[in-house]
Amino acid sequence: MGYAVAAPDVVDLLNRVRQPFNVNSLALAAANAAMDDHEFLHKSYEQNQRGMAQILDGLGRMGLSYIEPHGNFVTFAVADAAQVNARLLQLGVIVRPIAGYGLPNHLRVTIGLDVENSRFLEALTVALLD
């Protein structure tokens, strides 16, 4: 979930260029309820902090640069993003190519649970060797 606080004319422009398949009303209701669950929010925040450190440490060990993260994902650079993405898909790991955003040599990975982050880092190591 995400949100924007903006003037009505800016919101109008954002709605014109936003990606399709926004969340449905049930997902919005669940997100709204989660905002009142302070224990869940705290645990989610802590998990994201641990996962972020795990991913950044792994990328650092691989010598990969990244854009300083401030959310629940990391954008990182690789020599051939399309090839690395294809190899990751073959290995069962999905990341987001972001060439369409003007970053053709970057991929974006969402922070997950410790085991998911480990799986991503292991697969990325293999994908970079191919």
Q: Domain segments of the chain: what residues?
A: 42-129
Q: Which CATH number fits domain 42-129: 3.90.1150.10, 3.40.50.970, 1.10.760.10, 3.10.20.30?
A: 3.90.1150.10
pLDDT tens figures, 69-101: 999 999 999 999 999 999 999 999 999 999 999
Contact 72, 46 (CB under 8 A): no
Beta-carbon neighbour count of residue 101 at 10 Å?
A: 11
pLDDT tens figures, 33-61: 888 999 988 999 999 999 999 999 999 99
